[in-house]
Chains A and B, each alone.
Chain A
Amino acid sequence: MFAAGETVRVKDAWPEAAGPVHIRTPHYVRGVTGEVVRRLGAFANPEDLAFGRPAERIALYHVRFQKGAIWPEAKPDDELLIEIFEHWLERP
């Protein structure tokens, strides 16, 4: 469980390299550090739903990133806000 304002890092994991998966964490935020803005609720894990498997409900967060941390050519104070499931987040 993460609180608003907490610093988090998206796991630098690449399950797509190991076989068929369905994941909602875009490649460009993996391994990047951001800040939790809010918890959006808990939702059935699409990684399991996509394969017709029973799916656990997992917390989903709005996480804010400085765009410069992702794309060096971005304006430094531009922000990116995206939804990321809890199991993709870790404390840096």
Chain B
Amino acid sequence: MDKEVLRAHHDLGGVSKFMCEKVDIEPHGLTAFDREVDALRQMLAAKKLMSVDELRRGIEAIPEEAYLRLGYYQRWIRSITDHLLRSGVISEAELRAVLEAA
């Protein structure tokens, strides 16, 4: 049984409900989307606009419902987008314009 603790929803290690779930150990190829997100993160790090620690913090800040629904790189792009908006690198209007044009 798990202790009754105030763990954050992303702090999943050692939670007993996962003992009953089969672990997916099949290799998964990266999609074009995955590669693009990774490339973007590397560019942001090279330009000192976002660190890995900030990426992780942003992933952990995704509300639980979305966190559990989003895939691995979808969480990354959500964290990256939140960070760039918050730090003023991009504006909401710019983001909307790009998304509408896509």
Contact = CB atoms under 8 A, between A and B. Distances in A.
A27 B54 contact: no
Interface in A36-50: 46, 49-50
A17 B3 CA distance: 16
Chain A interface mostly helix, strand, loop or mixed? loop
A26 B11 contact: yes
A17 B14 contact: no
Band of interface residues on B: 10 to 19
B56 A28 contact: no
B13 A28 contact: yes
Interface size class of A (residues with CB under 8 A): 10 to 19
A27 B5 contact: yes
B57 A51 contact: yes
A49 to B, nearest CB: 4
B8 A26 contact: no
A22 B52 CA distance: 12
B6 A20 contact: no
Contacts of A71: 14, 16
Nearest to B51: A49
Shortest Cβ-Cβ A-B pairs, 9 listed = A27-B7, A50-B57, A49-B53, A22-B57, A28-B14, A50-B53, A17-B6, A14-B6, A16-B8
Given A14-B6, A26-B14, 15 more contacts: A16-B11, A22-B57, A22-B60, A27-B8, A27-B11, A27-B14, A28-B3, A28-B14, A49-B51, A50-B51, A50-B53, A50-B56, A50-B57, A51-B57, A52-B54
